[in-house]
């Protein structure tokens, strides 16, 4: 699995994304609100659509007649 080119590319892309989100061009930690808005408005909805994870709460019904 470690030699899989798709996994390597995903790891490299993830590292680049986190570096771009968290650090400026000089390597200092910096909050970038514009990039975080892009993540929130573009990437997260796309991930939710692709992964299709839906959580349903558990509902327990108690019938008092039985």
- Which residues are 44's β-sheet partners? none
pTM check: above 0.75: no
Query: Residue ranges of the domains in the chain?
Result: 5-51
Closest by alpha carbon to 36, among 21, 15, 46, 17? 21
Give 6-47 pLDDT, tens digit per residue.
989 989 998 998 898 889 889 899 888 888 888 889 888 888
Computed from CA positions of residues 19, 23, 29, 34, in that sequence, does the dihedral angle turn out positive or negative? negative
pLDDT at 15: 92
End-to-end CA distance of the chain: 54
- Which residues are 4's β-sheet partners? none
């Amino acid at each position: 699995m470690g030699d899989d080119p798709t996994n390597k590319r995903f790891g490299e892309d993830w590292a680049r994304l986190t570096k771009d989100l968290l650090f400026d061009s000089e390597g200092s930690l910096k909050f970038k609100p514009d990039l975080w808005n892009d993540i929130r408005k573009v990437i997260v909805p796309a991930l939710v659509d692709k992964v299709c994870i839906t959580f349903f709460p558990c509902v327990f019904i108690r019938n008092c007649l039985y």
